[in-house]
Each structure stands twice: as C-alpha cells, then as structure tokens.
A and B are shown apart, each in its own frame.
Chain A
C-alpha cells in the first residue's frame, strides 16, 4: 500500500462503465476462494481411521481449538455459535496472515470490510438472543435494571459495534502503513521485522474479534439461561418442601 493511501478502497484495479473493481473486493474474493478451496480439498477425503492425513489433522486442531474457546467463553453448547464465530476468525486470520505475500493488500485494512464484519456481529447478537429467549425476553434486557437505562444500553450496543470495526481497521491499516513508511526511510531490513510483527498482531486481532463477538453473543444469551436455571432451582426446592 502507498504511503498516502489510507485505505485499499482507493486502489482501483479494473474499471468498465459504472462498475469498478477495487483492491478490497478483489482480495476479499481471493481470501474467500482460498478458504473454500482449502476446506473443500481437505474435507473431500475425511477418514476416521487411526492414520489420518496431515491436512485433516490441521483442520481438526483448528476446529477443536475454536470449539474449546467458544465453550470456555459461553459455557454453552458450541454447535450454534461455531459456524458464525469460526468463520469470522478464519476469514480475518487468513486475510491478515496473507499480508506476508508481496503485492497483497489485506482487505481488513479497509474500513468497509471491518464495518461489514462488525455489522454482522451487530445483527447476530440479537438474533441469537431472540432464538434463545424469545422476542419479549430478549428486549426486556434493555430495560434492566430500570427503564432509564434504555438509552445507555442502546448506545452501548452501537458504540461497541463501532469500536469493533475501528479497532480491526486501525490495527491492520497501521501495520501496512508502518511497512510503507519504513520502506521509504530504511529499506531492506526493518520492513521485514515489522511485517513479522504484523503477523503476530494480525492473528491476535483475529482472535480478539472472534472472542469479543462471542462475548457479546454470550452476554445476550446467558441472562435467559441463568434465569431458567434459577427457576428450575426454585421449582426443585418447592417440590422438595412439598414432598417433605
């Protein structure tokens, strides 16, 4: 990325009529194609034998790791959350890690991509909450502990979406930018070190994005679960008293 360009949206690769293809869209497609290709190639020949192929081993480690993390955070069954949160993690991680390839610009260095991902989380949180506790049960959370908290709860919902988007964008964009600036003042060696550091920050940012998405979803679904457990305990106690 150029020193002066603040986002890969400004780099137009192909233009025809009213349609233009910028670097963000192109590299997003590349990452999507890579993810689909790799998972298709690996899952084509899955075996439950004692000896498994090394690619299957890698995939199993990744999926199992994500499952364990989700289970740790949410204290619930992972089946509903793994597709969404796992896809977020894999997409962001791959698009950040590929920045080691020369000529590649990470699509997450554009505010459009990160805003789209954050809006996905913004929509998914109420969706999971409503699936878990119903429409009334979910929206009741907004007026807890009192009705006066309603504007603050709504504000919190919006501002954390903004924070998710700007955090990822700022981190990845600063990585690309530092590379470009160092290339101008101290070429040959220092840009490589900063790029290697960028791999670490990229992976951590992908992890943090997925964990935060999971924390938000868990906070929307856990309240109803705790209420159900409390009711269950209450009922058990009453039965115990009745039975003597």
Chain B
C-alpha cells in the first residue's frame, strides 16, 4: 500500500473515531448536568437565575472537550499537514 492511501485511510478513520468518542463523553456529562440543574430549579425556583448562569458556564466548559475533538477531526479532514506533504511530494 502506498503512503497516500495509507494516510488518507488513517486520517478519515481517526477523524470519525475522534468525533464519535469525543462527543459521547460530553453528551453524557451535559445530560447529567442539565438533569441536576432542573432538579435544583424545581426545588428552589427563587435561585433560577443563579443556577441557569452557572449551568451555562458549566455546559460551555464541558462542551469545550467535544469542540476540541471536532477541531482535531476537522484538521485531520481538511487541513491535514501529512496529507499536504505527501501530495506535494507526489506532485513535485
């Protein structure tokens, strides 16, 4: 197998795995966080503002791990340095 097809295959496969595993964890975590926050709001409706703000900030924190995985998979697919290197070698 030549290096072009090997790098292409590895990049596409890894991009898929990255976004799959990377979205699994944060999704579970965000589900738990929202469920807890809803429970807290149901018990103490007066504190809704505080809870909502903290929830949003926390969700952003949790979500950023998924976003990192997304950025990595986008780099693998569209801005892969190894792919560009091999293409430039093959072309020139």
Contacts and interface: CB of A to CB of B under 8 A. Distances in A.
Contacts of A212: 57, 60
Contact of B53 (A72, A166, A171, A205): A72
A170 interface: yes
Interface residues of A, number: 22
> Which DSSP category, helix, strand, loop or mixed, fits chain B's interface?
helix
B56 A204 contact: yes
Contact of B79 (A6, A163, A174, A204): A6
Interface string A213-241: 00100000000000000000000000000
Contact of B60 (A4, A5, A169, A208): A208
A211 interface: yes
B75 interface: yes
Contacts of A204: 56, 60
Contacts of B53: 69, 72-73, 211
A234 to B, nearest CB: 30
B57 A215 contact: yes
Interface in A1-45: 4-6
Given A167-B64, A167-B67, A169-B71, A207 B78 contact: no
A13 B70 CA distance: 28
Given A6-B74, A173-B74, A207 B56 contact: yes
B67 A171 contact: yes
Interface in B30-70: 49-50, 53, 56-57, 60, 63-64, 67-68, 70
Closest 7 A-B residue pairs measured CB to CB? A170-B67, A208-B60, A167-B64, A6-B78, A170-B71, A6-B79, A163-B64
Interface of A: 4-6, 69, 72-73, 163, 166-167, 169-171, 173-174, 177, 204-205, 207-208, 211-212, 215
Given A6-B74, A167-B63, 19 more contacts: A4-B78, A5-B78, A6-B75, A6-B78, A73-B53, A163-B64, A166-B64, A166-B71, A167-B64, A167-B67, A170-B68, A170-B71, A174-B70, A204-B60, A205-B60, A207-B56, A208-B57, A211-B57, A212-B60
